[in-house]
């Protein structure tokens, strides 16, 4: 079995979303996976995670966890109590492309058990503290509905409100991120607005354009049918020829074909990034089987 990557490093970089959205029906869009020691979440295009440690909330114990998260003494740390909990807030920014930066926010919180819970958010270019604090509060107060959690073992997936049977050869690499060896890979997020979906998928595309270690050799807009609806997709081919890349060693492939789509699906909006290697199994239409579960070419 060859190890796959999802939509040009979508596992390595977090998604983004349009800020200030109402979230009264957030549970219809929120998905989560609980991986024993850490819970992963995705809603409105942003990935975030929560992990609880047995360390007491003290300066000495906090410093131990800072090291675990590669937080330096020089990183700005702000004390807060506005959530009803004591917490330390930290934000870091890293340039990942010519015109795009990745921002990470960390909440080191004294939870109800008087130990430390760490909730981490990631964005591109800008962040939204109101969104962060809303979900920090929901997580700490155990308000996340149980039904949003996916099974860690895949038999079928809930794709924006539709169950899709996949069998047992596929696996999660993140929330709403599926890899099926030789059959393709995809990641998606459910949004409340089309603006949010478009911004999320454009950020993924821009990160791909900024990546080193390969090059885009073709880029075009194509007409597709996505979940039964006419839509436009951005199609790129990313070439690794001549590159000594870990990705090509793991996959055995030389190029990735990647599709980026943002469109309306069953009352919400979906951003979806789908890809396959040049040596993957393809159908007569030229798509990998996983991609054909949600999209057809015109």
17-58: pLDDT as tens digits? 333 334 457 888 999 999 888 999 999 888 999 999 999 999
pLDDT score of 252: 65
**Token pair listed for 51:** 């992990």
pLDDT score of 4: 38
Task: Please give the average per-residue pLDDT across 230-254, as a whole number.
Answer: 75
Q: Are residues 38 and 83 in the same domain?
A: yes
Q: Are residues 141 and 179 in the same domain?
A: no
pLDDT score of 213: 76
Task: Please give the average per-residue pLDDT across 67-86, as a whole number.
Answer: 90
Residue with more model confidence, 215 or 25: 215
CATH code at 83? 3.40.1000
Q: Are residues 130 and 187 in the same domain?
A: no
Range among 5-14, 49-58, 70-79 with highest mean pLDDT value:
49-58
Q: Are residues 121 and 57 in the same domain?
A: yes
- 12 in a domain, yes or no? no
- 30 in a domain, yes or no? yes
Q: How many CB atoms lie within 10 A of CB 206?
A: 17
pLDDT score of 127: 82
Q: How confident is the model at residue 212 (pLDDT cuts 50, 70, 90)?
A: confident
Q: Are residues 135 and 39 in the same domain?
A: yes
- 7 in a domain, yes or no? no
295, 294, 200, 269: which is closest to 28 by C-alpha?
269
Task: Please give the average per-residue pLDDT across 249-273, as a whole number.
Answer: 88
3-state secondary structure the chain: CCCCCCCCCCCCCCCCCCCCCCCCCHHHCCEEEECCCEEEEEECCEEEEEEEEEEECCHHHHHHHHHHCCCCCCCCEEEECCCCCCEEEEEEEEEEECCEEEEEEEEEEECCCCEEEEEEEEEECCCCHHHHHHHHHHHHCCCCCHHHEECCCCCEEEECCEEEECCCCCEEEECCEEEECCCEEEEEEEECCHHHHHHHHHHHHHHHHHCCCCEEEEEEEEEEEECCEEEEEEEEEEECCCCCCHHHHHHCCCEEEEEEEEEEECCEEEEEEEEEECCCCCCCCCCCHHHHCCEEEC
Task: Please give the average per-residue pLDDT across 61-86, as a whole number.
Answer: 91
In the Cβ-directed half-sphere of 63, how many Cα atoms lie within 13 Å? 5
Strands (DSSP E) contained in 57-183 are: 77-80, 87-97, 100-110, 115-124, 149-150, 156-159, 162-165, 171-174, 177-180
Please give the mean pLDDT across all residues of the chain: 86
Q: Are residues 139 and 178 in the same domain?
A: no
**Residue 225: domain span:** 170-297
Residue with more model confidence, 49 or 13: 49
Residues pairing with 78 in the sheet: 89
- 182 in a domain, yes or no? yes
Count how many domains the chain has: 2
Q: Are residues 139 and 197 in the same domain?
A: no
Q: Are residues 219 and 262 in the same domain?
A: yes
- 49 in a domain, yes or no? yes
Residue where a domain stops, chosen among 148, 181, 211: 148
* pTM for the whole structure: 0.84
- In tens, the pLDDT along 83-105 reads 889 999 999 988 877 778 888 99
- 11 in a domain, yes or no? no
Q: Are residues 291 and 175 in the same domain?
A: yes
Task: Please give the average per-residue pLDDT across 218-239, as a whole number.
Answer: 96
- 160 in a domain, yes or no? no
The answer, yes or no, to whether residue 135 has pLDDT greater than 60, is yes
- 4 in a domain, yes or no? no
Do 118 and 48 meet the contact criterion of CB atoms below 8 Å apart?
no
């Amino acid at each position: 079995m060859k190890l796959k990557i999802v939509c040009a490093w979508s596992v390595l970089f977090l998604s983004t979303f349009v800020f200030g959205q109402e979230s009264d029906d957030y549970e219809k869009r929120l998905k989560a996976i609980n991986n024993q020691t850490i819970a992963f979440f995705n809603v409105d295009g942003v990935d975030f995670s929560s992990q609880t440690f047995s360390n007491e909330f003290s300066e000495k114990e906090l410093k131990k966890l800072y090291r675990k998260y590669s937080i330096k003494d020089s990183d700005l740390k702000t004390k807060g109590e506005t959530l009803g909990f004591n917490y330390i807030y930290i934000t870091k920014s890293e340039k990942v492309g010519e015109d795009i930066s990745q921002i990470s926010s960390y909440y080191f919180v004294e939870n109800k058990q008087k130990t430390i819970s760490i909730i981490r958010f990631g964005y591109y270019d800008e962040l939204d503290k109101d969104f962060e604090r809303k979900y920090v509060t929901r997580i700490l107060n155990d308000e996340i509905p149980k039904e949003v959690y996916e099974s860690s073992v895949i038999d079928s997936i809930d794709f924006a409100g539709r169950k899709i049977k996949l069998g047992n050869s596929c696996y999660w690499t993140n929330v709403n991120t599926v890899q099926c060896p030789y059959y393709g890979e995809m990641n998606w997020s459910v949004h409340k607005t089309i603006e949010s979906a478009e911004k999320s998928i454009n950020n993924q595309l821009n990160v791909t354009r900024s990546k080193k270690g390969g090059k885009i050799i073709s880029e075009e807009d194509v007409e597709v049918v996505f979940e039964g609806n006419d839509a436009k997709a951005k199609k790129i081919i990313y070439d690794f020829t001549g590159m000594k890349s870990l990705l090509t060693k793991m996959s055995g492939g030389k190029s990735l074909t990647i599709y980026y789509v943002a469109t309306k699906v069953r009352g919400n909006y979906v951003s979806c990034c789908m890809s396959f290697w040049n040596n993957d199994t393809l159908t007569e239409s030229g798509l990998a089987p996983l991609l054909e579960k949600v999209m057809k070419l015109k």
